[in-house]
A and B are shown apart, each in its own frame.
Chain A
């Protein structure tokens, strides 16, 4: 429980943290601008990643695992129903759709277009019935798909399973690459931004060395001395993140009509999206965390005795 005197000291610390910005506006503004620029780069990248993920998710949603039934004997409706129930019960199958041999032939004719005549000479429909399985989004990694394919192949009545292994591998590779690149760039920017805040707080610390000395002489504790710097770092980080977010929103609004066509090939039919409230709050929290982290770093060596 915080006592009244501690609460008053906290209020003094809060006012003191704003003093840094008031007394050295240029240093504060410069470091805020530098941080905002760094967070803008990070935010831009995160926005690109979010949209690319959307594209990949959409493409992934089109992913079908096809279970071919035995072509030798036509399955009875009861057998089809039974196989459907078994397949639906498998973990990772979000939905399924039965394609009868006649429907498959019709589809093939449509795909062949003008060359569909080659099918006319056949005495009977050679195509087997099949189930097209929609794979749950969390089971679209190659290893899980292979495991699901094995499980599907083991279902009685299924003679073959296809799921476009090469495409899935490529899809997984792109997602991994985007994630690793994001993690690398993120880590680099976090370090750079942390160092910027640490430098600013150190400048602030230097500028207020006399004040700290006097505060200590009249009985200020370690937290009373440190707290304004922590708050200043957090404030700077939060404001920089807000500025970056606003700038990014403005660039998004202005740039989207201009770049819409150019981006069309990249994202296809997907509508470009901006951060939602959780992502925006996350970016601001990241800024606050970076500011606080930088302040903590720069105050590590501050001695508790004058």
Chain B
């Protein structure tokens, strides 16, 4: 699903956000992207949804090289990717329904289909009774569920989540993670950037570790407790 070859992300001024990142994600995988704040997790996700362009290297998403996408080509890529953020990024003056429907409207979906899909997804996520509410009247967990609904309503093959539980208490965080896990179970490739050890412990998935913009480890779930596969070297 995703291949990255020797990818650098260098900012104006010469500092590196990412350096020499090479990795492969299979279709249908669930991957945690982890590391301390500033390790490069968000930068990597931004590269994947075309918000940044790599300074060097190649990135392939679903077989398509997105390393040198022109601005006009970015929207088509984004319609294939759902993105979730820590701060939800909802429109406060729009209803829950409108916040979710925006993704389908932009895709040019028919009104009737928008109604059906948004309604059934919100119902599935336990927000059927909140459909006409504004985001400010919802709890943090509910707001994040709306954001997830917006990211999933297009049935994207790839879901990127940047600290999706960062603003939520532990119980709500698990609730959100269960929804993301459910999307994964339905076939979506998922990358969750997090540094929450509780989530990493509870959900046994592949972990890609970043440190100072470099790949510091890539650990498959079956290796937990055995060691960390790191840049081709296994450490005990």
- Of B54-62, B103-111, B182-190, the stretch lying at the interface with chain A is B103-111
At the interface, yes or no: B150 with Cβ under 8 Å from chain A?
yes
Residues from chain B with Cβ under 8 Å of A220 in the complex: 75, 106
Cα separation A38 to B14 with both chains bound (whole Å):
50
Point out the residues of chain A lying under 8 angstroms from B108, CB to CB. 4-9
Counting chain A CB atoms within 10 Å of each CB, which of B90, B102, B109 scores highest? B102
A213 within 8 A of B: yes
A214 proximity list for chain B (CB < 8 A): 89-91, 102
B92 to chain A, nearest CB (A): 8
Task: Determine the residue in chain B with the shortest Cβ distance to A304.
Answer: B71
Q: Are B102 and A218 neighbours in the complex by a CB distance under 8 Å?
A: yes
Does any Cβ of A come within 8 Å of B49's Cβ? yes
CB distance from B47 to the nearest CB of A (A): 12
Q: Is there an interface contact between A219 and B78, defined as CB atoms closer than 8 Å?
A: yes
Q: Tell me, yes or no, whether B72 is within 8 Å of chain A by CB.
A: yes
> Which residue of the partner chain, among B50, B79, B102, B150, contacts A305 with CB atoms under 8 Å?
B50
Pairwise interchain contact B75-A221, C-beta atoms closer than 8 A: yes
Chain A contact residues (Cβ within 8 angstroms of B): what range?
Answer: 20 to 34
A222 within 8 A of B: yes
Interface assignment of B83: CB less than 8 Å from any CB of chain A = yes
Given contacts A23-B93, A305-B71, contact A218 B51 (CB under 8 A): no
Interface residue from B71, B72, B93, B106 paired with A219 (Cβ < 8 Å) = B106
Q: At the interface, yes or no: B36 with Cβ under 8 Å from chain A?
A: no
Q: Is B231 an interface residue (CB 8 A)?
A: no
Chain A proximity of B172: nearest CB distance (Å)? 22
Our pick among B50, B93, B103, B110 for the contact of A218 (Cβ within 8 Å) is: B103
User: Are B105 and A9 in contact, CB atoms less than 8 angstroms apart?
Assistant: yes
Task: Give 1 or 0 for each of A185-205: 1 = CB within 8 Å of chain B CB.
Answer: 000000000000000000000
Answer whether A219 and B103 are a contact pair too, CB < 8 Å, given A5-B108, A8-B109, A304-B71: yes
A222 touches which one: B72, B107, B154 (CB < 8 A)? B72
- In the bound complex, how far is the Cα of B172 from the Cα of A188, in angstroms? 60
The tally of residues in B whose CB lies under 8 Å from a CB in A reads: 27
Tell me the bound Cα distance from A305 to B103 in angstroms.
17
Given the interface contacts A23-B93, A210-B89, A305-B50, does A5 sit within 8 Å of B107 by beta carbon? Answer: yes
Q: Are A211's CB and B91's CB within 8 A? A: yes
Which residues of chain B have C-beta atoms less than 8 A from A64's C-beta?
none
Asked if B226 is an interface residue, CB under 8 A from chain A, the answer is no
Least Cβ distance of A214 to chain B in Å? 6
* Minimum CB–CB distance for B81 against chain A, Å: 8
Docked Cα-Cα span, A23 to B92, in Å, equals 12
- Indicate if the CB atoms of A219 and B89 lie closer than 8 Å: no
- Residues of chain A within 8 A of B233, CB atoms compared: none
Cross-chain contact of B106 among A9, A213, A222, A304 (Cβ < 8 A): A9
Give the CA-CA distance A9 to B91 in the complex, in Å. Answer: 19
The reply to whether A218 and B79 form a contact with Cβ atoms under 8 Å apart is yes
Q: Which residues of A are in contact with B by a Cβ distance under 8 Å?
A: 4-9, 12, 23, 210-211, 213-222, 224, 304-306
Interface residues of B (CB under 8 A from A): 49-51, 71-72, 74-79, 83, 89-91, 93, 102-103, 105-111, 150, 154
For the A-B complex with A8-B109, A222-B72 known, give 6 more contacts whose Cβ atoms are closer than 8 Å: A4-B108, A12-B106, A217-B78, A305-B50, A305-B71, A305-B74
Show 8 residue pairs from A and B whose CB-CB distance is below 8 angstroms, ordered by the A residue.
Answer: A211-B91, A216-B78, A217-B89, A219-B76, A219-B77, A221-B72, A222-B71, A306-B51
